[in-house]
Amino acid sequence: MANVLLVDDDVDLGKLISEYLTEEGFNVFHQVNGRDVLAFVAEHRIDVIILDIMLPGMNGIEILRRIRRVDNIPVLMMTARGDEVDRIAGLDLGADDYLAKPCSPGELAARLRAILRRAASSRAGSADTIEVGDLSIDPRGRKALWKGTMLALTGAEFNLMEALASRPGQIVSRGELCELGLGRPLTRFERTIDVHMSSIRQKMGLLADGRSPIVNVRGQGYQLVTG
């Protein structure tokens, strides 16, 4: 049973979501104050966090920023419908996925399963290390080294990096990356993959010749450079 931490100051909504997710087989903890989240995560085993942006005490963006300094626990952000700025800010800081409120509990449960399924699949997959130039990926340990230095990747970012490294030099479509990295189909006007890729490229830096190790092939997808 996966432990889910729901962080939302709407008590009634939190109760509704908690009851639904519990019926779906999740073990749900509910926090209403942003300032209590970091201490709670430090004291409990949490598999995934549902994090609302508008919170008393400390907003969701700042909470995510602090979590990412010490942990890569999967985080699904909840944002106001149409508030793209908050969504992009959350993804830039390392959120694994997002949903606009109001959302259906069924879709929320499906998103959580997709996040957890991807993490479990990667851990249970090939134990062999993937080596592509200066990039080394340990699928079982979910660690990625670039030029000998550990990359601080979120769960979704690691999934995307693993997908590219498994097909070095090949173009992997955004649709495939959405399925492999986020565990769900690509939707129209979806920008999540692009934001994650931008974050990964920033963390890796440039090759000696000034190129990015990950190329955005316009209209097709992304490609991991092999040399």
What is the secondary structure of 129-168 as a DSSP string? PEEETTEEEETTTTEEEETTEE----HHHHHHHHHHHTST
Which CATH number describes the domain made up of 3-120?
Answer: 3.40.50.2300
Compute how many other C-beta atoms are within 10 angstroms of the C-beta atom of residue 99.
18
Domain with CATH 3.40.50.2300 in the chain: 3-120
Strands 130-132 and 135-138, by their bridges, are: antiparallel
* Cα–Cα distance list, 227 to 133, 169, 207, 208 (Å): 7, 9, 9, 10
Give me the pLDDT at residue 127, please: 56
Report the sign of the C-alpha dihedral through residues 13, 18, 20, 21, in that order. Answer: positive
Give me the pLDDT at residue 121, please: 64
pLDDT in tens, the chain (227 residues): 799 999 999 999 999 999 999 999 999 999 998 888 888 888 888 999 999 988 888 889 899 988 887 777 889 998 876 667 777 787 887 888 888 888 889 999 999 998 888 767 655 555 578 899 899 998 877 789 999 999 988 888 888 999 999 888 999 999 889 888 877 778 777 788 898 999 999 999 999 899 999 999 988 899 999 86
Is 171 strand, coil or helix?
strand
Domain with CATH 1.10.10.10 in the chain: 126-224
Alpha helices in 80-191 (DSSP H): 84-92, 105-124, 155-165, 174-177
pTM value is: 0.67
Give me the pLDDT at residue 81, please: 61
Cα separation, 198 vs 20, in Å, equals 35
Q: Which residue type does 77 have?
A: M
> How far separated are the first and last CA of the chain, in Å rounded?
43
Paired residues of 77 in beta bridges: 51, 98
Report the sign of the C-alpha dihedral through residues 10, 11, 17, 21, in that order. Answer: positive
Burial bucket for residue 208 (CB in 10 Å: 0-12, 13-18, 19+): exposed
Both structure tokens of 52:
């609302």
Give me the pLDDT at residue 122, please: 56
Which CATH number describes the domain made up of 126-224?
Answer: 1.10.10.10
Give me the pLDDT at residue 83, please: 66
Cα separation, 149 vs 223, in Å, equals 21
Q: Nearest to residue 131, comparing CAs of 106, 92, 163, 166?
A: 166
Cα separation, 101 vs 77, in Å, equals 10
**Residue listed under structure tokens 């508030």:** 83
Kindly report whether the peptide bond that precedes residue 102 is cis, defined as omega within 30 degrees of 0. yes
Report the sign of the C-alpha dihedral through residues 139, 125, 175, 193, in that order. Answer: negative
The tally of CA atoms less than 13 A away on the side-chain side of residue 137 is 22
